[in-house]
Chains A and B, each alone.
Chain A
Amino acid sequence: MALSRKTPIERIEYAIIVSTLLLLVVVTVQPILNLLAISLSEPSKVPGMNGLAILPQGFSFEVWSVLLQHPNVQRGIVNSIFITGVSTLIGVVGTALMAWALSRPNLPGRKALFILVLVTIVFEPGIIPDYFVNKRLGLLDSYWSVILYKAVNAWYLIILIRFFEEIPKELLEAAELDGANPFQVFWHLVLPLAKPALATISLFYLVFHWNEFFRSMIYLNDQGKWPLQVVLRQFVIDGDKIAIVGVDSANNNTGAGQLNLRALKAGMILLTIVPILAIYPLILKFFTKGTMSGALKG
C-alpha cells in the first residue's frame, strides 16, 4: 500500500530516507565484516587487503584454529565463561529475592531500604576506595573481586521491583490464604509469573559481565585468571604481541608466529563477541520490548 498511492516526489523522499538508513547500517556493520573477512582470508593475502573489503581473499580457518588452540585464549574463554556464569547466577538470584521483598508495599523499612539502594546509584566514591575494600577483604587476585562487582545491580533491581509490583494483589493474597509461606509464594507463584522479566535481567547481567574488563584488569594480576576481554586488550590495544604470538615464534614456522598480526587481531576481536552475537536474537527480543514499554510508561 505504501507505494501505490504515492506521488513521484514522495517515492524519491522515501528512497532517500531508506538509503540514509542503509548507509548507517553499512557504517555500523562494515568494520565488523571487514575483520571477519581478514580473519578468514588466506594468510598470505592479508597484508595487501583493503580496509573496505568484506569478502575474504581466498579462504582459511588458520587464524581461528591457531587462536582457539592458544593456551592464553583457551584460558581466557574458560575464565570468561566461569566469571560470567557465576556472576549472572548470583546476580539474578540475589536481585530477584531482594526485589520480591522490596516490592511488598507494607514491608516495614521498605522506604529506608529503597533509599539505601538509590544512594549507591547517585554517589559512586570511585576506584580507589573500592580497591581498598577489595584489598581489605583479601579479594585481590581472586575471581570473587570480579564476580561480586555489581553482584546486585541497583538499576536492574529497580526494574524487577517495578515488575513484581504489577503482579495482581488478589493472586498473592489467595496463595497466602491457602497457607503458602513467602518462600513458597515466591517459588511457585512469583518466579513463574516473572519469567520474561527474569530472562531480561539475566541477559542484562550476562552482557554486562561478559563485557566487563576494567575490574579484571586491576584486580587480577594472575594472567591465568584473565577473562577474554583482558587477553584481547593486552594483545590488540596494548599491542603486546607476546600475549598471543609468543616470544620465540619469530623463528618458528608453526603456530601464530607466521600468521599476519592483523589477521590474528581481527580474529581475536571477533572471538570475543561470538557469545554476544549468539544471543543477539534474544537480546533484541527482550531488550527492545523492555526498553519500549519502559519508555512508554515513563
Chain B
Amino acid sequence: MADGWRRWWPYYVMMAPGILFFLIFHYLPIWETRIAFEQVRIVPPNVWVGLKHFQVLFSSSVFWQVLANTLIISTMKMAFFLPVPIVVALLLNEVRGGSLRKFIQSAIYLPHFLSWVVIAGIFIAALSPTDGAVNNLLGMAGIAPRSFMTDTGAIRWVLVFTEIWRSAGWDSLLYLAAIIAIDQQLYDAAEVDGANRWQKIWHVTLPGIVPTIATLFILNAGMFLNADLNQVINLSNDVVRSKIDIVDTYVYRIGLQTGEYSLATAAGLFKAVLGTMMIIIAHFVSKRLTGKGVW
C-alpha cells in the first residue's frame, strides 16, 4: 500500500466534516459523562468522588419510582401497541382496490410525521372534558365526562393510545412489505385445498410474517428503556407527573431545571449502560433467530 495515502486522501477529506461531527457531538459527550463520578465545584477542577452519586441515586425512592414508571409504560406499550400494526397490515392486505387502499394508507401514515408537540396539542383538545371529541362521544352514550389528561388512572393509557395513533399505521407498512414478499403459490395451494379468507390469513399470512414480528419485538425490547421523552414531556402535567415521570424526564428535571448535574448524569449513564446492553443483546438474539439485526 505504498500509494495508499495518495489514492485515498480525497476520501478522508470528504469524510472529515462527518467524522469531526461524530467526535464532537457524540464522543465528547461520552467524555463528559465523567461528571457522574465527580463533585462539581464552582472553582474548577471538579473532585473525583467515585460512585457516590450512584449511591445517592439508588437510595432515592423517586429514582426507583421513575424506573418503575419507565418499565410499566414500556411494557404497556409493547403489549398493546405491537398487535395493532399487525392487524392493520392483515386487513390492508385484504383490500384489493388500489385507490381505496392508497387512500386508507395515506390517511393512517400521516400522524407518524407529526411532532409530539403537535400530537399533544391535538389530544389535549380531543380529550378536553367539556368540548373534546372523546367526551362528546361519551356524553352521547350518557357517560359522565372525564378529564383524561389530569386523571392519574388514565394518563398511562393516554400514552399508549397516542403512541398507537401516531405509529400503528406507519408500522403496518413493515408488515405489509413482509406480507407482499410471501410466495403467491402458497395462497394458490391453500385455495385449492378450499381454504377461506381467514384460514389463509391464519395458515399462510401469519406464519409468513412471524420472522418480521419476531424481529420487531426483539428490537423493541432493545429500546425498552426509551419510553419516549418527547411524548411524555408534552403530555405531562403537575397532576399526573408521578405516574408518567420516566428516567429521561427525571434526568431533564433534576439536571437542567434543578441543576443537580452529577446526579442527573449518573441517572442518565445508568440508563444508557442498561439500554446499550439491552440493544446489543436484542441485536444478537435477533440475528440468531431471524437473521436481521439492529444495524
How many chain A residues touch B (CB < 8 A): the figure is: 95
Q: For residue A181, which residue of chain B has the nearest CB?
A: B10
Asked if B121 and A52 make an inter-chain contact with CB atoms under 8 angstroms apart, the answer reads no
How many chain B residues touch A (CB < 8 A): the figure is: 98
If A35-B125, A101-B11, A295-B177 touch, whether A133 touches B197 (CB-CB below 8 Å) is: no
Binds B, one of A66-74, A110-118, A246-254: A110-118
B272 within 8 A of A: yes
A211 within 8 A of B: yes
Q: Counting chain B CB atoms within 10 Å of each CB, which of A98, A121, A229, A284 scores highest?
A: A98
Asked if A126 and B118 make an inter-chain contact with CB atoms under 8 angstroms apart, the answer reads no
By a CB distance below 8 angstroms, the chain B residues around A166 are none
By a CB distance below 8 angstroms, the chain A residues around B31 are 129
B47 within 8 A of A: no
B51 within 8 A of A: no
A28 vs B107: C-alpha distance in the bound complex, in angstroms?
Answer: 7
Q: For residue B30, which residue of chain A has the nearest CB?
A: A125
A116 vs B111: C-alpha distance in the bound complex, in angstroms?
Answer: 33
A221 CB to nearest chain B CB (Å): 12
Asked if A211 and B114 make an inter-chain contact with CB atoms under 8 angstroms apart, the answer reads yes
A276 within 8 A of B: yes
A245 within 8 A of B: no
B41 within 8 A of A: no
Asked if B265 and A128 make an inter-chain contact with CB atoms under 8 angstroms apart, the answer reads yes
Residues 120-137 of chain B: 1 if any A CB is under 8 Å from the residue's CB, otherwise 0?
111111101001111111
By a CB distance below 8 angstroms, the chain B residues around A126 are 29, 33, 248, 251, 265, 268-269, 271-272
By a CB distance below 8 angstroms, the chain B residues around A61 are none
B153 within 8 A of A: no
By a CB distance below 8 angstroms, the chain B residues around A291 are 173-174, 177
A186 CB to nearest chain B CB (Å): 7
Asked if A148 and B21 make an inter-chain contact with CB atoms under 8 angstroms apart, the answer reads yes
A17 within 8 A of B: yes
Asked if A20 and B91 make an inter-chain contact with CB atoms under 8 angstroms apart, the answer reads yes
By a CB distance below 8 angstroms, the chain B residues around A295 are 173-174, 177-178, 212
If A50-B136, A133-B29 touch, whether A122 touches B279 (CB-CB below 8 Å) is: yes
B148 within 8 A of A: no
By a CB distance below 8 angstroms, the chain B residues around A97 are 14-15, 17-18
B interface with A by C-beta (< 8 Å): 1, 4, 8, 10-12, 14-15, 17-19, 21-22, 24-33, 35, 88, 91-92, 94-97, 100, 103-111, 113-118, 120-126, 128, 131-137, 165, 169, 173-174, 176-178, 180-181, 196-197, 212, 229-230, 233-234, 248, 251-252, 255-256, 261, 264-265, 268-269, 271-272, 275-276, 279-280, 291-292, 294-295
A interface with B by C-beta (< 8 Å): 2, 10, 13-14, 17-18, 20-22, 24-25, 27-32, 34-35, 49-52, 94-95, 97-98, 100-102, 104, 107-108, 113, 116-133, 137, 148-152, 154, 157-158, 181-183, 186, 207, 210-214, 218, 229, 232-233, 236-237, 262, 265-266, 268-269, 272-273, 276, 280, 283-284, 288, 291-293, 295-296, 298
Pairs A–B under 8 Å by Cβ, sample size 23? A17-B91, A35-B122, A52-B137, A97-B15, A98-B19, A108-B4, A108-B8, A120-B26, A122-B280, A124-B272, A126-B33, A127-B264, A128-B251, A129-B33, A210-B115, A233-B234, A237-B124, A237-B234, A269-B121, A283-B113, A291-B174, A295-B178, A298-B291
